[in-house]
């Protein structure tokens, strides 16, 4: 499992769209599996779950991205990958997860 957390100051809707487009355009096997959006009086939360095939690991890898914004305007991002490891007792191969997360980092640098 690999994870990044960031605090961003940009347009929420633009960020959601940029992440969706950037992840899906970055890999031919990537797909948006599902998503949810929640709205409160002064807060928003969006969750997106992406999946792609990891050629190196020979399996599917997921990336869950959560965006949360309160009335201070800052967007808190948490992105966690899972699924590429081979091993019964401990994780042996996380390259597929790290590669998926690296793609998200590239998208975030362009925002």
pTM: 0.89
pLDDT at 96: 79
pLDDT at 109: 95
96: containing domain: 3-110
Alpha-carbon distances, residue 59 vs 51, 68, 82 (angstroms) = 10, 30, 11
CA distance 34 to 50: 7
Q: Check which CATH number belongs to the domain holding 31 and give it.
A: 3.30.310.80
The token pair that represents 55 in the structure block: 């050629």
Successive 10-residue mean pLDDT values, the chain, 111 residues: 92 97 90 96 96 78 96 96 68 74 94 91
pLDDT at 2: 83
Question: What is the tally of structural domains in the chain?
Answer: 1
CA distance 91 to 34: 26
pLDDT at 93: 62
110 touches 103 (CB < 8 A): no
3 touches 104 (CB < 8 A): no
């Amino acid at each position: 499992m690999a994870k990044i957390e960031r605090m961003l100051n940009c347009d929420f809707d633009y960020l959601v769209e940029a992440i969706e487009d950037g992840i899906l355009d970055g890999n031919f096997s990537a797909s948006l599996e599902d998503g949810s959006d929640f709205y409160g009086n002064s807060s928003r939360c969006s969750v997106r779950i992406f999946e792609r095939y990891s050629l190196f690991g020979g399996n599917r890898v997921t990336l869950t991205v959560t965006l949360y914004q309160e009335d201070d305007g800052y967007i808190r991002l948490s992105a966690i990958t899972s699924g590429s490891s081979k091993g019964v007792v401990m994780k042996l191969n996380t390259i597929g997860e790290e590669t998926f997360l690296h793609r998200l980092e590239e998208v975030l640098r362009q925002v």
